[in-house]
Amino acid sequence: MRYSMLVATVLVMLICGPVAAEELTPFRGERTLTVMTQNVYHGVNAELYGVATATDFRDLLIKVAAVFNGYHTRNFPERAAALAAEIEASRPDLIGLQEAVLVGTQAPADGAATPAGTVALDYVQLLLDALAARGLAYEVIGTSFGWDAELPSALGIDVRHTDREVILARKDLSTADLKVSNVQASHFTTNCVIPTRIGTITIKRGWVSADIKIRGTRVRVVSTHLDGDCPDPAIQTAQSMELLQAAGATNLPLVFIGDFNSDPITGSTAAYGTLTAAGFTDAWGVAGVGPGFTCCQESFLLNPGSTLSRRIDLVLVRGDFAVLGIDVAGDESSDRTPSGLWPSDHAGVVATLRLPDPDDVVR
């Protein structure tokens, strides 16, 4: 009987030992976190504006067809390969993507009566495939679904545009290096509302967050895309306040990444000031070299020289981080695709942060 109990005890120790060791052994490597924010650009800014200004139903059908053709003209599969090359150069632990759209179709067209279920282009999957082609393994850990519209077109199909904010994480890290929990996503309650002849369009924006334990330290990472469509700056200010009150409601150290549509150089909108007044530090202001422009290339992406002139894609931190380095990506002519397209109308931003001491993090 005692022998059986001893054997059982030893077996339990052998089975449970590695788990206990993982929990009790502190991380002894370099405590850093590399993050990237990248607005991948859906590619159809001009065409979507055309839809909003359609004069009648026939004009609407033609302009929706132009949107669908625009996705293909701006060739995201080719651009995804260029974006993957940028990511390979820095191998960020986490990536925040904006405008990572899902394009759906349905035939025959019936407007929005039946949601379009055929996937024509999935920007997230295309990027994941391009990364995999380079031997890089990433996965989606959180998604926020934004503006979602489906309209008939002159092509005889419905075209559905679903905006998404996404966080990607490296899959090759062990659970001792990276653990994800408490993933959240939400729309802002205040959004830009545009009256048009085809009805009112509400440009829903939002955010996605994840609490992560990265190399021994717990932090919260938030990716967002604030309004840049409305002339009323109060919309963006309200969204930045919502971001603080919702995603920012934690004692964990915080990393905000995204397209904030707020330029600290020109001070054109108040969101940057709202966030920095709430205790966030602009990583570029600490370690960036030069103006750090991230926006924007021409909407058709074929301009031979860069037209970036604003810094609106940001990495903002709150907590005891040290900014070890920060740079823009995809801003050089050599970054363009074989057909001459820029990877996106935005440059990416990559920052490496030294993490706070885990003993100093209040849970």
Looking at residue 19, what is its pLDDT? 37
pLDDT, the chain, mean: 91
For 121-134, what is the mean pLDDT? 99
Burial of 145 (0-12, 13-18, 19+ CB in 10 A): middle
Both structure tokens of 65? 């067809």
Would you say residue 57 has pLDDT above 90?
yes
Both structure tokens of 140? 């989606």
Tell me whether residue 14 is in a domain.
no
Tell me whether residue 22 is in a domain.
no
Tell me whether residue 17 is in a domain.
no
Tell me whether residue 11 is in a domain.
no
Reported confidence tier of residue 29, pLDDT bands at 50, 70, 90: low
For 112-121, what is the mean pLDDT? 93
Our count of domains for the chain comes to: 1
Looking at residue 186, what is its pLDDT? 98
- In percent, the amount of the chain with pLDDT more than 90 equals 83
Going from the C-alpha of 286 to that of each of 111, 243, 248, 264, 352, the distances in angstroms are 50, 23, 21, 13, 12
For 8-17, what is the mean pLDDT? 38
Pairing of strands 313-318, 254-259: antiparallel
Looking at residue 198, what is its pLDDT? 78
pLDDT digits (tens, 9 = 90+) for 285-323: 999 999 999 999 999 999 999 999 999 999 999 999 999
For 5-13, what is the mean pLDDT? 36
DSSP letter for each residue of 144-168: EEEEEEEEE-TTSSEEEEEEEEEEE
Say which residues have a Cβ less than 8 Å from residue 336's Cβ, sequence separation at least 6: 82, 342, 343
How many whole angstroms separate alpha carbon 363 and alpha carbon 359? 10
CATH number for the domain harbouring residue 175: 3.60.10.10
End-to-end CA distance of the chain: 45
For 257-265, what is the mean pLDDT? 96
For 29-52, what is the mean pLDDT? 94
Rg (CA), the chain: 23
pLDDT digits (tens, 9 = 90+) for 229-253: 888 899 999 999 999 999 999 999 9
148 Ramachandran zone, left/alpha/beta (phi>0; psi -120 to 50): beta
Tell me whether residue 256 is in a domain.
yes
Q: What is the DSSP letter of 333?
A: G
pLDDT digits (tens, 9 = 90+) for 201-227: 899 999 999 999 999 999 999 999 999
Half-sphere exposure of 124 (CA within 13 A, CB side): 25
- Spatial contact of 211 and 220, defined as CB atoms under 8 Å apart: yes
Tell me whether residue 110 is in a domain.
yes
- Spatial contact of 44 and 230, defined as CB atoms under 8 Å apart: no
pLDDT digits (tens, 9 = 90+) for 318-339: 999 999 999 999 999 999 999 9
Task: Find the domain containing 142 and state its range.
Answer: 29-360
CB atoms near residue 120 (< 10 Å): 15
Looking at residue 28, what is its pLDDT? 57
Tell me whether residue 2 is in a domain.
no
Q: Would the CA dihedral through 129, 133, 137, 138 be positive or negative? A: negative
Looking at residue 107, what is its pLDDT? 95
Looking at residue 27, what is its pLDDT? 54
Angle, to 10 degrees, between the axis of helix 57-73 and the axis of helix 45-52? 170
Reported confidence tier of residue 269, pLDDT bands at 50, 70, 90: confident
Tell me whether residue 229 is in a domain.
yes
